């Protein structure tokens, strides 16, 4: 038997496979396809203090081996999340991670402080990287000093595990990861989507209602992989790899590059139960390679 269990701060995960924010709804929707309790953890849709409408349609378009989205963090807001979604997690046996977003530091801090009261929540993933919102969004995640101040402030009001989700739309992602580490973040996840656009040659105008969108899907995995590899050499806190993972082989590549855990995003839309297959695929890989513990795989691509 191989060990798939991983630890992050004081949390235990039954396996290293999480599902990425914005691609798994509020989690419970996927119960129609499989028992989401089998996952290492569930990261729910980006949550803000107040409900957000999101961006004008059209919001998605397919690209070669990927997609562009400009959802703009549409969500139901804290109050409804707490009254309608959270209670459903009483009976779900996996770690619930809430991805949060604020348009200014004060909003992030208030949200983190209020979520700290709920026992169903294992960790917060701080989204400083959404490319689809004007205020805050990726602008936060591009400045190491802002990241430091933001995460330090959140740590003061919230004692849950704090994961910082980074944007790839920067010159040096490791620098931002270091800022998160200095602010005592428990982990970093990378990457969020890459900014991109599509122009409709019939109308001769940008296709998306918001003009630009975030690129995700298999097309981006070599980019995410390189960023995880690079960051692994610069920080000591765990890295959670995300970006284009669509099978166990790519998941294993992320772990070899230095990710302690991985997240499945866009692939959930195409195959709702893909994360279960990837858990099994990782297990099989370890058996075939005669490695008894997934933790022994982390970072092996570095010499």
Partner 1 sequence: MKTIVLNNDQVAKDTYYLQLQVPEGFKYEPGQFLMLKINKLNEPLLRRPFSIAKVDETIDIYYKVIGLGTNILKSYKKGDLIDFTGPFGNGFDLRNKRIVLCGGGIGVAPLIGLKYFLDSKNITSHCFFGFNSKEDCFVDFGEIATLDGSLGKKGSVVDLLEDLDNSFHVYACGPKGMLKALCELADRKGFSMDISLESNMACGFGVCLGCSINTINGYKQVCKDGPAFNYTEIIW
Ligand X SMILES: Cc1cc2nc3c(=O)[nH]c(=O)nc-3n(C[C@H](O)[C@H](O)[C@H](O)COP(=O)(O)O)c2cc1C
Residues that bind partner 1 (CB under 8 A): 22-25, 29-30, 32-33, 45, 53-54, 56-62, 64-67, 69, 71, 74, 217-218, 246, 266, 268-272
Strands 121-127 and 161-165: parallel
The entry of partner 1, ligand X, none near residue 46 (CB within 5 to 8 angstroms by kind) is ligand X
Shortest approach of ligand X to residue 219 CB, angstroms? Answer: 8
Local structure of 130: helix, strand or coil? coil
Taking residue 247's Cβ as centre, other Cβ atoms within 10 Å add up to 16
Per-residue binding string, ligand X, 7-46, x by CB under 6 A, is -------------xxxx---------------------xx
Is 130 considered catalytic here? yes
Q: Out of 43, 82, 115, 130, which one is annotated catalytic?
A: 130
Task: Establish whether the linkage from the previous residue to 191 is cis, with ω within 30° of 0.
Answer: yes
Long-range pairs of 77-84 with CB within 8 A, sequence gap ≥ 24: 77/47, 77/48, 77/49, 77/50, 77/51, 77/52, 78/47, 78/48, 78/49, 78/50, 78/111, 78/114, 78/115, 80/51, 81/26, 81/47, 82/118
Residue 102, CA atoms < 13 Å, CB-side half-sphere:
19
Query: What residues are designated binding site for substrate?
Result: 45, 69-73, 127, 192-193
Kindly state the tokens that stand for 242: 């995300």
Kindly state the tokens that stand for 19: 């599902």
Shortest approach of ligand X to residue 77 CB, angstroms? Answer: 13
Shortest approach of partner 1 to residue 132 CB, angstroms? Answer: 11
Per the DSSP assignment, residues forming a β-bridge with 194 are 215
**Residue 275 in the binding site for ligand X (CB under 6 A):** no
Shortest approach of ligand X to residue 24 CB, angstroms? Answer: 9
Return the residue of 253, 260, 266, 275 that touches ligand X, per CB under 6 A: 266
* Residues at the site binding ligand X, with contacts judged by CB under 6 A: 20-23, 45-46, 69, 71, 73, 99, 127, 130, 165, 192-193, 216-217, 220, 242-245, 264-267
């Amino acid at each position: 038997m191989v060990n798939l269990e991983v630890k992050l701060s004081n949390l235990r995960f039954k396996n290293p496979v999480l599902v990425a924010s914005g691609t798994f709804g509020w989690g419970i929707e996927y119960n129609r396809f499989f028992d989401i309790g089998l996952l290492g953890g569930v990261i729910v849709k980006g949550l803000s203090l107040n409900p957000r409408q999101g961006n004008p349609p059209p919001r998605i378009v397919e690209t070669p081996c990927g997609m562009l989205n400009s959802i703009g963090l549409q969500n139901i807001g804290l109050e409804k999340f707490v009254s309608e979604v959270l209670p459903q997690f009483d009976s779900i046996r996996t770690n619930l991670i809430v991805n949060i977003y604020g348009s200014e530091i004060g909003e992030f801090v208030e949200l983190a402080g209020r979520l700290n009261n709920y026992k169903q929540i294992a960790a917060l993933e701080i989204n400083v990287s959404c490319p689809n919102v004007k205020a805050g969004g990726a602008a936060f995640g591009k400045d190491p000093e802002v990241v430091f101040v933001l995460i330090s402030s959140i740590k003061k009001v919230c004692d849950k595990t704090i994961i910082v989700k980074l944007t790839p739309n920067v010159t040096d992602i490791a620098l931002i990861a270091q800022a998160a580490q200095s602010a005592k973040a428990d982990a970093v996840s990378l990457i969020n989507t890459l900014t991109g656009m599509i122009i409709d040659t019939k109308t001769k105008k940008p296709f998306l209602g918001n003009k630009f969108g975030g690129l995700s899907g298999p097309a981006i995995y070599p980019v995410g992989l390189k960023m995880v590899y690079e960051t692994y050499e610069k920080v000591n806190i765990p890295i959670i790899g995300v970006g284009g993972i669509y099978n166990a082989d790519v998941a294993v590549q992320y772990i070899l590059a230095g990710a302690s855990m991985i997240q499945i995003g866009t692939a959930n839309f195409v195959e709702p139960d893909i994360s279960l297959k990837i858990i099994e695929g990782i297990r099989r890989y370890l058996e075939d390679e005669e490695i008894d513990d997934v933790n022994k795989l982390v970072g092996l691509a570095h010499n």
